[in-house]
């Protein structure tokens, strides 16, 4: 019992109790001493008392006995740690004793100078009471004192007028009585105020102390978790290197390299974990957020680049996006991007590979009191829905905590640091938003993660200056947008809507296919001119005055417009799933009247009747489209072609003969692409698909275009175009952990040197295929 109470106090209440106990222990000898002194006086008076005063002195003496009984009882209570009882008893007894002394003295001797001193001493008792924080006792004592004061001043003086100082001083008895009572209350009120402020300080300190203790506990948990999370990867990393060293002679070159690669891979995972920990620390100690209007759709595209393509076999997944192009939120672009990447990565990791994932965003009325000025009446709700196993409702509250991993996942094969959703919550809250999840926990019904952020006034899509990319050189992952996955029927499309499969395969060569800003448009046009120069014309198939020309994935429409000029009698239609932001590359020259643009998605089926066109052209789309989708796309192209009409396709392949540095970068890019099902199309495939589609006179060939300054002007332009595109994806490769940025830069510099110096005869293979529909 004692040892427990003497150990360090853990809460404010305990601390206060201990303080009072010590106070009692210190005061007790003085209280008892004072009482003993008074008792001695009583005993002496009892012994020498005149017969007339015997009864009075006996009564006084019995009071002494009661006082000591009170002290003994209080002492026992103190020994038993009943601090409240002990303090009340002792202070109460002391107060009562004091009052008795005053009464007795004034009754015996009247209001002389010593009685006045005793009155003043009584103030000390009040201070004592307030020290113990016993406010009821303080009030009672004050009222008792008032009574004693009034009694003494008004009554006792008449008993002993010869010693009465008031009479001697000639003061008004009632005035003095009133002043004395007022004085007593002023002391009491002052003590009470003092006590309140003292309690408050103690309470604040206690609160801070408790908070610190909780933090300390969290930190302990955190360290235990980190400790646990680190052990397996450290063992794998260490073991791989150790094994490579120990078994040096018994391992083949490849085996040794595999071991070192494994160590590197696991090390990267560790780095990722540490970065997460550091980020948590940074946010918890007040991170820096740069809140600005951010386009949701664009940020999502950036986020897709961050998602590891190997997570949840992304290439096999149907990703449905329903976000208006101009929907914008008030957020920090980088942190919003990270939230989205995290949620997407989770959706991919924790759900079966054959289930769909839907991402939608819209403005909704804000919940709660919308009349308040500081709360906007609308919010933007971003929802990422999956159809996986879901989350048991009882585990949902745990989900957004630090190192939270569901019991189900702890032993599962899915790895996670347990920091992702915690970071999402920290970010969302720091940006004035919130994040939560809805799930029934029923397998197949999945989970919906909702992120709510304050809306921003819309930003035009064509002003990339305000877009997040301007802050960070991350390549937009949008493939050639016509390589889009069709939306499920349930998701009706309204307004400007993009439904695009995020294809990192796009990184391969034609990295900038969406013409949604000036820079991109210029680059696309540049590419168009290169191709026209390389092939000495726009059409490769032997067409003969076509009347209806279709250009699929037309981009800026440059090719189609030139064809419209070349064949003024023909009607030329360009389709793409976004309206080109820069309508025509030559603004001073209006588009020809026989050209028109139409919004359409080739993967949804082209919106034209069978046999509409006699020349259908499509190029550079495969880098953004899984190879599996080619046959159906070609079938549709053939469908809209009239008998006798031509279908023409053109696709690029990775550069050849560019030296080891370029080969290594390309290998990495292809690895990333392959993970998404995107593989460069071969000429033999082209030919087979066209023939399978029923075309005749099929030609399929590969042209090798010059690449590099050493091969003339064309080589210079082609290398400039493609290297620019490749450089833009370096950051993305680094982000997805495939290749370090520094390594990438180094290899690109070497590749530049290799192809431009002419040390390596590099070439860019372009597969071309065209065929004619029978009949006509």
Nearer Cβ to other proteins, position 255 or 753?
A: 255
Which residue from 171, 235, 282, 463 is in contact with other proteins, where contact means CB under 8 A? 235
Nearer Cβ to other proteins, position 232 or 401?
A: 232
Of residues 374 through 413, those in contact with other proteins by CB under 8 A are: 410-413
User: What is the Cα–Cα distance from 390 to 393, expressed in whole angstroms?
Assistant: 9
Length reported for the chain:
776
Paired with 379 in beta bridges are: 364
Nearer Cβ to other proteins, position 240 or 346?
A: 240
Binding mask 205-224 for other proteins (x = CB under 8 A): -------------------x
Nearer Cβ to other proteins, position 261 or 434?
A: 261
Closest approach of Cβ 251 to other proteins, in Å? 7
For 408-466, give the secondary structure using H, E and C: HHHCCCCCCCCCHHHHHHHHHHHCCCEEEEEECCCCCCCEEEEEEECEECCCCCCCHHH
| CA nearest neighbour of 264 among 750, 745, 743, 732 | 743
User: What is the Cα–Cα distance from 144 to 598, expressed in whole angstroms?
Assistant: 97
Backbone phi and psi for residue 376, each to the nearest 5 degrees, phi listed first: -65, 150
User: What is the Cα–Cα distance from 149 to 187, expressed in whole angstroms?
Assistant: 15
Q: Does 536 bind other proteins (CB under 8 A)?
A: no
Q: Does 227 bind other proteins (CB under 8 A)?
A: yes
Q: Which two tokens stand for residue 557?
A: 């429409």
Nearer Cβ to other proteins, position 225 or 402?
A: 225
Closest approach of Cβ 744 to other proteins, in Å? 25
| CA nearest neighbour of 695 among 635, 633, 737, 624 | 635
User: What is the Cα–Cα distance from 367 to 551, expressed in whole angstroms?
Assistant: 47
Closest approach of Cβ 415 to other proteins, in Å? 8
Q: Determine the interface stretch with other proteins among 4-12, 169-177, 234-242, 528-536 (rule: CB under 8 A).
A: 234-242
Of residues 251 through 280, those in contact with other proteins by CB under 8 A are: 251, 255, 259, 262, 265-266
> What are the C-alpha distances in Å from 67 to residues 34, 93, 339?
11, 6, 72
Which residue from 209, 222, 243, 526 is in contact with other proteins, where contact means CB under 8 A? 243
Closest approach of Cβ 730 to other proteins, in Å? 27
Which residue from 80, 231, 372, 434 is in contact with other proteins, where contact means CB under 8 A? 231
Which residue from 55, 121, 127, 234 is in contact with other proteins, where contact means CB under 8 A? 234
User: How many CA within 13 A on the CB side of residue 628?
Assistant: 7
Q: How many CB atoms lie within 10 A of CB 287?
A: 15
Nearer Cβ to other proteins, position 44 or 247?
A: 247
Of residues 412 through 471, those in contact with other proteins by CB under 8 A are: 412-413
275 contacts 420 by C-beta, under 8 angstroms: no
Q: Which two tokens stand for residue 571?
A: 């009607």
List, in sequence order, every beta strand (DSSP E) within 12-98: none
Closest approach of Cβ 253 to other proteins, in Å? 15
Closest approach of Cβ 346 to other proteins, in Å? 19
Q: Determine the interface stretch with other proteins among 94-102, 233-241, 367-375, 555-563 (rule: CB under 8 A).
A: 233-241
Nearer Cβ to other proteins, position 262 or 716?
A: 262
DSSP helix/strand/coil, 40: helix
Nearer Cβ to other proteins, position 207 or 407?
A: 407
Nearer Cβ to other proteins, position 591 or 738?
A: 738
Q: Does 352 bind other proteins (CB under 8 A)?
A: no
Sign, CA dihedral 82-84-85-89, equals positive
Closest approach of Cβ 410 to other proteins, in Å? 6
Nearer Cβ to other proteins, position 195 or 405?
A: 405
Closest approach of Cβ 313 to other proteins, in Å? 16
Backbone phi and psi for residue 731, each to the nearest 5 degrees, phi listed first: -60, -40
Which residue from 7, 211, 232, 316 is in contact with other proteins, where contact means CB under 8 A? 232
Chain centre to alpha carbon of residue 124: 59
Which residue from 9, 34, 178, 239 is in contact with other proteins, where contact means CB under 8 A? 239
> Cα-atom radius of gyration of the chain, to the nearest Å?
44
**Per rule CB under 8 A, count of chain residues that contact other proteins:** 27
Which residue from 208, 246, 463, 667 is in contact with other proteins, where contact means CB under 8 A? 246
Q: Which two tokens stand for residue 443?
A: 């397998």
Nearer Cβ to other proteins, position 22 or 231?
A: 231
Paired with 773 in beta bridges are: 695
Question: What is the end-to-end Cα distance of the chain in Å, rounded?
Answer: 106
| CA nearest neighbour of 356 among 493, 490, 495 | 490
Q: Determine the interface stretch with other proteins among 241-249, 527-535, 633-641, 732-740 (rule: CB under 8 A).
A: 241-249
719 contacts 709 by C-beta, under 8 angstroms: yes
Backbone phi and psi for residue 572, each to the nearest 5 degrees, phi listed first: -115, 130
The contact set with other proteins (CB under 8 A) reads: 224, 227-229, 231-232, 234-236, 238-240, 242-243, 246-247, 250-251, 255, 259, 262, 265-266, 410-413
């Amino acid at each position: 019992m004692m040892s427990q109470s003497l150990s360090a106090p853990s809460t404010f209440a305990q601390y206060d109790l201990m303080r009072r106990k010590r106070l009692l222990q210190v005061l007790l000898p003085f209280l008892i001493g004072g009482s003993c002194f008074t008792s001695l006086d009583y005993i002496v008076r009892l012994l020498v008392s005149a017969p007339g005063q015997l009864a009075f002195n006996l009564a006084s003496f019995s009071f002494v006995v009661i006082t000591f009984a009170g002290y003994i009882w209080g002492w026992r209570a103190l020994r038993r740690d009943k601090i409240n009882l002990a303090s009340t008893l002792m202070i109460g007894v002391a107060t009562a004793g004091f009052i008795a002394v005053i009464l007795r003295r004034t009754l015996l001797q009247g209001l002389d100078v010593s009685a006045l001193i005793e009155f003043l001493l009584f103030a000390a008792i009040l201070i004592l009471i307030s020290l113990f924080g016993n406010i009821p006792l303080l009030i009672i004592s004050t009222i008792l004192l008032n009574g004693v004061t009034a009694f003494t001043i008004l009554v006792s003086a008449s008993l002993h007028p010869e010693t009465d100082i008031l009479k001697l001083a000639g003061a008004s008895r009632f005035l003095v009585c009133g002043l004395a009572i007022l004085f007593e209350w002023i002391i009491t009120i002052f003590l009470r105020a003092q006590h309140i402020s003292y309690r408050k300080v103690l309470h604040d300190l206690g609160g801070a102390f408790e908070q610190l203790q909780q933090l300390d506990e969290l930190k302990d948990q955190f360290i235990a978790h980190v400790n646990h999370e680190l052990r397996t990867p450290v063992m794998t990393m260490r073991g791989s290197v150790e094994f490579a060293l120990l078994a040096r002679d018994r391992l083949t070159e490849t085996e040794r390299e595999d071991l070192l690669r494994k160590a590197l891979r696991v090390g990267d995972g560790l780095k990722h974990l540490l970065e997460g920990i550091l980020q948590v620390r940074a946010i918890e100690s007040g991170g820096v957020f740069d809140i600005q209007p951010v386009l949701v759709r664009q940020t999502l595209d950036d986020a897709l680049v961050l998602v590891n393509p190997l997570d949840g076999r992304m290439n096999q997944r149907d990703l449905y996006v329903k976000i208006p192009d101009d929907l914008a939120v008030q957020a920090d672009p980088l942190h919003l991007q990270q939230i989205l990447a995290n949620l997407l990565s989770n959706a991919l990791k924790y759900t079966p590979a054959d289930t769909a994932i839907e991402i939608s965003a819209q403005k909704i009325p804000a919940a709660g009191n919308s009349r308040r000025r500081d709360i906007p009446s609308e919010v933007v709700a971003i929802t990422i829905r999956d159809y996986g196993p879901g989350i048991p409702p009882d585990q949902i509250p745990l989900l957004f905590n630090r190192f939270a991993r569901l019991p189900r996942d702890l032993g599962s094969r899915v790895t996670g640091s347990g920091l992702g959703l915690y970071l999402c919550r920290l970010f969302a809250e720091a940006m004035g938003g919130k994040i939560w999840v809805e799930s029934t926990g029923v397998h197949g019904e999945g989970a919906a993660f909702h992120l709510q952020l304050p809306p921003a006034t819309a930003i035009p899509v064509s002003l990339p200056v305000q877009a997040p990319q301007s802050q960070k050189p991350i390549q937009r992952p949008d493939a050639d947008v016509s390589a889009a996955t069709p939306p499920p029927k349930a998701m009706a499309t309204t307004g400007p809507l993009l439904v695009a499969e995020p294809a990192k395969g796009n990184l391969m060569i034609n990295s900038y296919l969406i013409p949604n800003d000036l820079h991109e448009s210029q680059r696309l046009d540049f590419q168009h001119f290169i191709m026209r120069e390389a092939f000495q014309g726009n059409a490769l198939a032997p067409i003969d005055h076509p009347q209806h020309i279709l250009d699929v994935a037309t981009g800026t429409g440059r090719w189609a417009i030139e064809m419209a000029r070349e064949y003024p009698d023909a009607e030329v239609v360009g389709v793409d799933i976004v309206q080109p932001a820069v309508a025509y590359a030559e603004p001073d020259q209006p588009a020809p009247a026989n050209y028109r643009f139409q919004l359409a998605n080739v993967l949804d089926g082209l919106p034209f009747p069978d046999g509409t066109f006699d020349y259908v052209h499509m190029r550079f789309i495969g880098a953004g489209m899984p190879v599996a989708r080619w046959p159906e796309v070609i079938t549709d192209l053939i469908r809209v072609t009239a008998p006798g009409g031509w279908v023409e396709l053109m696709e690029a392949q990775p550069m050849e003969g560019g030296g080891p540095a370029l080969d290594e970068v390309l290998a990495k890019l292809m690895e990333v692409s392959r993970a998404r099902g995107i593989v460069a199309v071969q000429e033999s495939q082209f030919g087979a698909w066209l023939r399978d589609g029923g075309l005749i006179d099929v030609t399929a060939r590969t042209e090798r275009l010059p690449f590099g300054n050493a091969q003339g002007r064309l080589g210079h332009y082609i290398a400039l175009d493609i290297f620019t595109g490749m450089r833009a994806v370096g950051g993305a490769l680094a982000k997805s952990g495939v290749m370090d940025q520094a390594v990438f830069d180094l290899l690109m510099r070497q590749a530049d040197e290799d192809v431009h110096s002419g040390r390596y005869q590099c070439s860019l293979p372009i597969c071309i295929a065209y065929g004619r529909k029978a009949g006509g």
